[in-house]
Copies of this chain bind each other. A is one copy, B any other.
Amino acid sequence: MFDATSEKEFPLKGYSLPLSPKGQTSIVDAPPWYYGGEVLCLTFEADEREVRALIPPPLEMGPNPGQGAVWFVEWVSASEARPDLAFINPERSLYRECFVVVGCQHNGVPGSFVSYIWVDNDFTLARGVIQGFPKKLGRIYITRLHELTPKIGGRQGGAKVKGICDVNAQRIVEGSMTFTHPSKPSELPPVRFYLMRHFPSIEDPTRPSVHELTVATVSDVKIKDVWVGDSQIKFFESPFEEVADLGPVKDQGAFFFSMGLTITGGKVIHKYV
C-alpha cells in the first residue's frame, strides 16, 4: 500500500482519499483492478459535426467519422488489494454503468473517446475519474435475462434487452437490443478507449492541476457468449447533459456479451498542463 510521502513520520496511507493510519479507508484501492460483466454495446452513426465537437485535440476524427457507441454494463469487480471484496462487501463489488463513446484516433491509432459516463456506485466513480472516465452518478437499469424465468428466458434469438440511464430525476439515455443470432468474440469491434484525466485547481478555476490524455493498460481480456442484434438508441434533453446533441443517431446494430479483464494502470499520451 502506498505511503503518501517519503518523510518517515507521514502517518497516512492509501491509494486515494481518505488516507488513514492503516490505509484501509481509501475510496479506491490501487490497481490492478479486476472486472467481469455483461455488456450491452449499441453502435451508432451521428452527424459528423456533432462528433467532431466532442473530440479534444490532439485526438483526431477516426477513420469512420461520425461513428460511436453506447455501452450499458453490469460489472462484478475487485482489486488486487482486496481480492475478498465481493465477499466482505458485495455492495462495493457490483455496479452498473452507461457510457457514450465517439470514434477518434491518436497518431493514426484508431479508438474511441469516452465523452460521457454515468455509474451507480461511489468507488467506481472515483476509480473512473482517476483513469479519465468523466463519471457522474446515475441510476442505471438493464434488462436481466434469466433462463428460468418464464416469459423472459435467457440469451436466445428474439430476446430483448433494454438499458436505461436516469440522471438527476430525468431519463437521459435509453438503448434497446433485439437478439438476432449468436456470434464470436472475433466479430466484435476492437476496443481502445482514449480517456481524459482532469483535476481542477482550487486556487485558479481556469488552470486545472491535472489535464492529460491517457489510455488504460488492459490485460487478460476474455469474451464469451456473444450475440448480435438490432438496436435502437434514444438520447433525451436535460439542462445538465449534452448527450442529446448527438442525435437522433442512425442505429448500427448491437452486441451483447460477457467480458472479463484486468486493468493494471494507464499511460499518459498527452499533457495539457
Contacts and interface: CB of A to CB of B under 8 A. Distances in A.
B89 A144 contact: no
Interface in A1-52: 2-5, 7, 9-12, 15-22, 24-25, 27-28, 30-31, 34-37, 52
Interface stretch (A62-70, A104-112, A247-255, A256-264): A256-264
Interface string A127-157: 0011110111101011111111111100000
A182 interface: no
Number of copies: 4
A239 B164 CA distance: 14
A181 B168 CA distance: 30
B260 A18 contact: no
A191 interface: no
A161 to B, nearest CB: 7
A48 to B, nearest CB: 14
Contacts of A240: 24-25, 89, 92
Contacts of A54: 11-12, 20-21
A35 B36 CA distance: 25
Interface string A68-107: 0000000011101001101111111110000000000000
B2 A148 contact: no
A222 interface: yes
Interface string A173-188: 0001000000000000
A115 interface: yes
Given A260-B149, A262-B150, A141 B169 contact: yes
User: A-B pairs with the 7 shortest C-beta distances?
Assistant: A148-B260, A36-B149, A18-B134, A17-B134, A122-B137, A36-B148, A202-B266
